[in-house]
Structure 1
């Protein structure tokens, strides 16, 4: 879009915001169910998916919902006020820019794009539009524990922050989940969380890889550790272990001059975890039970922002946050095959 083109004005919204959902796989189907059953002030009006049969199956369970032939038709539809993108990440850039061109607010699941260049194109398109339209689905910003930790950091309760330790563990991954995917699908959440907590960018990343494990021949070092350095010199460790054969858990520990705060310990009361789930407690099988409340809060805040005209909720990740995350992930991927710290290259904000 050129700087001389204008974006259509936001239409007057009906009582319920009519949401179109692009992609109704695992995440998209969850969002459809969420909006239909638990979110106030919204309804799902249109869905689309590469597999039309899946879209028709989802639409059949939602009163008043229909199926569009593709993303372009859904974005342009008169009965769609706002768009939720849950398609594969490779399509997010073009779909987000199409929403911006149509003047429709969009909640895009991460990533914003598959590389920083494409993410920056979305930032530029939004800048040309003259108003914020893009919210990015980093749901941890809406988690109660993350919000409390953010408040503790901002208030100075913990004093000067020097080190943050993160842990990100999954039960298992599918074949083909290589090191780069550990960065872009897993570590990206910690990367955004650091931007959220500290309000400063990550400027360098180093990867620390273990001795070859059982899936090394598949291109996966598991577990691995990423070291991230922020603009003010703080150090973040991110331990990634995505095939624990136990369950899903994330933890964050912040070391400050006046105290130490840790979140994610509600499921960490068990002292012994063994492959196959042999322990004295329970851990969620995947991320959805852990963050269901955060997803609900994120979508509800987005709908409220659309309805009141602010378009992007105050706590939400923005297109710029998505660009910063993409730039840090690019450096982290390079660090997998580079000795020492790899600098994060960031362009000026438009």
Structure 2
């Protein structure tokens, strides 16, 4: 069975997914796209030879669309996800699932009414081979209990439309989900520390900042978020356990030596660094859809990340620690 996919929001990320599905992923075909920008719909539909809509509701209702990928602007996700659920169509939504916890609650309520999990959230780091190896070692218990985890999330630069809260709910959300998955625990408290600001930033930003998180058992986690480092897309993670330390290896495939010394190329964006993870993630989703199964992160994961983000955004403007407020996990997600 070929899964016929409708793409809502075929911007940079959406078109990268279309290219992957057309070139290296089996079992899926993008047959329609939707965007509120009419010129983009026309360009993308012409480029890929697919149907084009300016109304996402029309794409979701299209009988030729079996499943939907949502790669649009975060605040637009909630309505389209719920429409997909009500249409009985499986949906893959890029992070964040919703901009806040209330929107995620609305999505979960729709899923519970439907009685089955239809939503997969695009937390692609769970599919990265280096993170998976780290998790396998920690889960095995060979280095004892995890005590501390250090994270670094650095970008070369961000555009002017990057708002002050996006450091948490658009950038830090990656580490928030990855740490929940890596430790198998919920995050219960957060704090934000504010170092000296880089001069290479827009005036409205606190950059860099340090997000401090505590899990249920007391694991201490830090995340340096620095989105204007001027030189590379640099993702680091180091887990400190009772009898060993595990860290991601340097993010390069080749090292050269010559008259300029010893050096390696630096990754510049998420598609370059996590290309393999994106392929594995979308391939697994398409395969699951063809079997009418759910895979990957659930709406609960989207909700839990949103709760931590809400607390983190509060912590940007409040002194001290902020508790993460969450409902009990519904039976559908147990």
Asked if TM exceeds 0.5, the reply is yes
* Match 1:284 to one of 267, 277, 292: 267
| Alpha-carbon distance between aligned partners in 1 of 2:192 and 2:248, rounded to the nearest angstrom | 24
Q: Secondary structure at the match of 2:263?
A: coil
| Alpha-carbon distance between aligned partners in 2 of 1:158 and 1:179, rounded to the nearest angstrom | 38
Distance 1:187 1:236, change over 3 A: same
Q: In the alignment, does 2:56 pair up with 1:71?
A: yes
* Match 1:233 to one of 206, 215, 218: 218
- Residue matched to 2:143: 158
By how many angstroms is 1:264 displaced? 4.3
| Alpha-carbon distance between aligned partners in 2 of 1:283 and 1:31, rounded to the nearest angstrom | 23
By how many angstroms is 1:220 displaced? 1.3
Q: Secondary structure at the match of 2:147?
A: strand
| Alpha-carbon distance between aligned partners in 1 of 2:125 and 2:181, rounded to the nearest angstrom | 10
Report matched runs for 1:1-350 at 5 Å: 15-63=1-49, 65-214=50-199, 218-267=203-252, 280-310=263-293, 312-313=294-295, 316-350=296-330
| Alpha-carbon distance between aligned partners in 2 of 1:214 and 1:96, rounded to the nearest angstrom | 39
By how many angstroms is 1:268 displaced? 10
| Alpha-carbon distance between aligned partners in 2 of 1:148 and 1:268, rounded to the nearest angstrom | 17
Q: Secondary structure at the match of 1:280?
A: strand
| Alpha-carbon distance between aligned partners in 2 of 1:35 and 1:98, rounded to the nearest angstrom | 24
By how many angstroms is 1:68 displaced? 2.2
Q: Secondary structure at the match of 1:225?
A: strand
C-alpha contact (below 8 Å) 1:46/1:67 kept by paired residues = yes
Q: Normalising to structure 1: TM-score of the pair?
A: 0.89
C-alpha contact (below 8 Å) 1:48/1:74 kept by paired residues = yes
| Alpha-carbon distance between aligned partners in 1 of 2:23 and 2:169, rounded to the nearest angstrom | 31
Q: Output one character per residue of 1:94-131: Cα deviation in whole Å (capped at 9) or x when no partner.
A: 11000000000000001111110111110111111111
Name the count of aligned residue pairs. Answer: 325
Listed as ranges, the gaps of 5+ residues in structure 2 are 256-261
Q: Secondary structure at the match of 1:120?
A: helix
Q: Normalising to structure 2: TM-score of the pair?
A: 0.93
By how many angstroms is 1:216 displaced? 6.9
Distance 1:217 1:78, change over 3 A: closer
Q: After superposing the two structures, state which structure 1 stretch, 170-179 or 235-244, moved more.
A: 170-179
Listed as ranges, the gaps of 5+ residues in structure 1 are 1-14, 271-278
| Alpha-carbon distance between aligned partners in 2 of 1:69 and 1:266, rounded to the nearest angstrom | 39
Q: Output one character per residue of 1:288-342: Cα deviation in whole Å (capped at 9) or x when no partner.
A: 10011111110000001001121x22xx111000000000001001111211111
